[in-house]
Amino acid sequence: MSQTNIYDSRGLARLLDTAAAWTLALLWALPLLYAVWTAFHPSEFSTRFTLTAPLTLENFVSAWHAAPFARYLVNTVLLVTMVLAAQLVLCTLGAYAFAKYDFPGKGVLFALVLMQLMIMPDVLVVENYRTMGAIGVLDSTLAIGLPYMASAFGIFLLRQTFKSIPKELDEAAAVEGASTLQILWKVYVPLGKPVYLAYALVSVSYHWNNFLWPLIVTNTTNSRPLTVGLQVFSSTEQGVDWSIITAATLMTSGPLLVGFLLFQRQFVQSFMRAGIK
């Protein structure tokens, strides 16, 4: 991945660089390593680090039974799927219009879309809560997802991709008698695949982790996602020991973490692509 650089350190300097890099890496991984230690050992070992400490899954079992995590997990999966599906459709259509059409008002509309990059739904919680109340969807997965379904970031990203696809391709398809939507579906979407993957990974991890808006707009188990469920669990059960809370913490981030470890390369490259495009 990286090419050798003539200024890469050598000899003693290289040794020092390696030591510094690994010290920093350990420091960065420490919270997670610590959580794994605590979650897999009985609570009396949560601050005693002996190699002979017995391993256990008891903490996970207790946490699982202490709160409706299965329901929270279902809610989160529903949420990220629904948001992603809506985003892919809406952003594809919008990006195609911006990339391939010239129409009156294009500049103004594009500026209006980009405004969302600055005024994210995250900070408009008060008014969006009012809106959700007015349309009667408070305390539902739909309410958590609605403000995020059209994403300026997605439109911008896909517009850049579609612009780089040569016009000759869709002219050829038009000669064959394909309609606008057919051209979009058969030519543009397949060519944009890597960008779709990148966007999907960014979107899923964002909405899996999102907290403030779901906290505000939900108030029952039926709609709470994992993040809010975890917070309710760890703040109300003050008597619960740390081992169980860290087990719950790992469970909450588990699926995303496993996915990340399996697809590390794609994940990192997706984030890179999403950022520099």
Partner 1 sequence: MPPAVRSPAAMRNIHAWLLLLPAMAFIAAFTHYPAVNTFIHSFFLDGRGGAPAQFVGLEHYQYLLEDEVFHKALVNNLLFACGTIPLSISLAMTMAFLVNAGLAGQSALRLCYFVPTVLPMIAVANIWLFFYTPEYGLLEQIRGALGLTGVNWLGSEATALPCVIAVAVWKDAGFFMIFYLAALQQIPPSLGEAAMLEGASRFYYYRKVVIPLLMPTTLFVLVNATINAFRMVDHLFVLTQGGPNNASSLLLYYIYEVSFKYWDTGYGAALTMVLLGFLALASIGQFGFLERKVHYR
Binders of partner 1 among residues 21 to 60 (CB under 8 A) are 21-22, 24-26, 28-29, 31-32, 34-35, 38, 47
The correct pick among 85, 115, 174, 262 for binding partner 1 (CB under 8 A) is: 115
Between residue 170 and residue 199, which ones bind partner 1 under the rule CB under 8 A?
A: 180
Between residue 255 and residue 274, which ones bind partner 1 under the rule CB under 8 A?
A: 256-257, 260, 264, 267-268, 271-272
Between residue 94 and residue 113, which ones bind partner 1 under the rule CB under 8 A?
A: 94, 96-98, 101-104, 106, 109, 112-113
Window contacting partner 1 (CB under 8 A); options: 66-74, 170-178, 189-197, 243-251 = 243-251
Nearest distance from residue 231's CB to partner 1, in Å? 6
Nearest distance from residue 273's CB to partner 1, in Å? 8
Distances (CA, A) of 217 to 136, 143, 167: 12, 7, 44
**Helices 226-236 and 193-209: angle between axes, nearest 10 degrees:** 20
Between residue 194 and residue 233, which ones bind partner 1 under the rule CB under 8 A?
A: 205, 208-209, 211-212, 215-216, 226-227, 230-231
CA pair distance 72, 57, nearest whole angstrom? 20
CA pair distance 230, 59, nearest whole angstrom? 15
| 61 versus 181: smaller Cβ distance to partner 1 | 181
Distances (CA, A) of 238 to 57, 110, 135, 234, 244: 21, 49, 36, 7, 11
Q: Is 238 in the site for partner 1 (CB under 8 A)?
A: no
DSSP label at 136?
T
The DSSP code sequence of 22-55 is HHHHHHHHHHHHHHHHHHTS-GGGSS---TTPPP
| 179 versus 222: smaller Cβ distance to partner 1 | 179
| 104 versus 190: smaller Cβ distance to partner 1 | 104
Nearest distance from residue 61's CB to partner 1, in Å? 19
Both tokens assigned to 34: 């610590």
The correct pick among 43, 56, 81, 131 for binding partner 1 (CB under 8 A) is: 131
Site string for partner 1, 63-82 (x = CB under 8 A): --------------------
The correct pick among 57, 61, 89, 172 for binding partner 1 (CB under 8 A) is: 89
What is the SS3 assignment for 240?
Answer: coil
Site string for partner 1, 143-162 (x = CB under 8 A): ---xx-xx-x--xx---x--
Both tokens assigned to 201: 């990974």
Measured in whole angstroms, the distance separating CA 181 from the mean position of its chain's CA atoms is: 29
| 106 versus 193: smaller Cβ distance to partner 1 | 106
Residues 249-273, buried b or exposed e (16+ Cβ, 10 A)? bbbbbeebeeeeeeeeeebebbeeb
CA angle (151 as vertex; 275, 180 as ends), nearest 5: 100
Residue 192 — φ and ψ, nearest 5°?
-90, 10
Kindly state the number of chain residues that form the binding site for partner 1, as judged by CB under 8 A.
101
| 32 versus 61: smaller Cβ distance to partner 1 | 32
Contacts of 36 (CB under 8 A, 6+ apart): 250
